[in-house]
Amino acid sequence: MFTGLISDIGTIKSITKTVDGQSFQIKTSYDVSSLDLGESIAVDGVCLTAVKFEKDSFWVDASLETISCTTVSSFIIGSKVHLERAMQLSGRLGGHLVLGHVDGVGELREKYSEGNAVIFKFRAPDSITKYLLDKGSVGINGVSLTVNSTDDDGFSVAIIPHTQEKTNFTNYQAGDKVNLEADIIGKYVYSFMTQGKDKTREGLTSGIDLETLLSAGFSKD
């Protein structure tokens, strides 16, 4: 599990085809001696397993399924990628709960400056936007961000100077593809709301629906 706070920007150093997918060597500023064999590292928001190490780099394997569902398929030698090691339960959760399980691929529609921030508008499939709401959380290439607004075509976020400095967002151009992960809490709420009384586990139903929430004092907004 991750927080969506990027701790390094790595570089794809080599790519090797394997029977089950591809192996990527990633150059990093991490102290490689502190990495453990088999530990999870988020690479552009994709949870991958470290399988080999060198002085300044580590290897991860991506399955055919991962390659087909994420932007890993577009990695080339020299690509810059966001890196984050798995969170420690004793640490601060500065972003939101990010699993590294990509829900789908979005596309940058446009970007423009607004004050000291840059607004990014992304096109996203309905399978992701149904979980998003204004001022909620979303993971974009592994970065924890706040949804500014949603529309029929996708959503927008504001990238503040600090995030611009610590990530690759300044290099993104219209048409670029990104990995998207909706907030896991939103997914569970959506599941309860849509399946509610029809979803039974061991004879019990959730009993949660819109009427239940309204009667408890929650607003439709």
The domain that holds 71 is classified in CATH as 2.40.30.20
Contacts of 54 (CB under 8 A, 6+ apart): 25, 32
Q: Write out the residue range of the structural domain in which residue 38 sits.
A: 8-85
* pLDDT per position as a tens digit, 32-64: 999 999 999 999 999 999 999 999 999 999 999
Report if pTM > 0.75.
Answer: yes
pLDDT recorded at residue 205: 52
Query: Taking all residues of the chain, what is their mean pLDDT, rounded to a whole number?
Result: 89
Question: Do residues 110 and 178 share a domain?
Answer: yes
Amino acid residing at 85: R
Question: Do residues 149 and 192 share a domain?
Answer: no
Give a yes or no: residue 42 inside a domain. yes
Q: What total number of domains does the chain contain?
A: 3
* pLDDT per position as a tens digit, 87-113: 877 677 776 888 999 999 999 999 999
* pLDDT per position as a tens digit, 159-171: 999 999 999 999 9
Q: Indicate if the alpha-carbon torsion angle 190, 192, 198, 203 is positive or negative.
A: positive
Question: Do residues 66 and 129 share a domain?
Answer: no
Give a yes or no: residue 142 inside a domain. yes
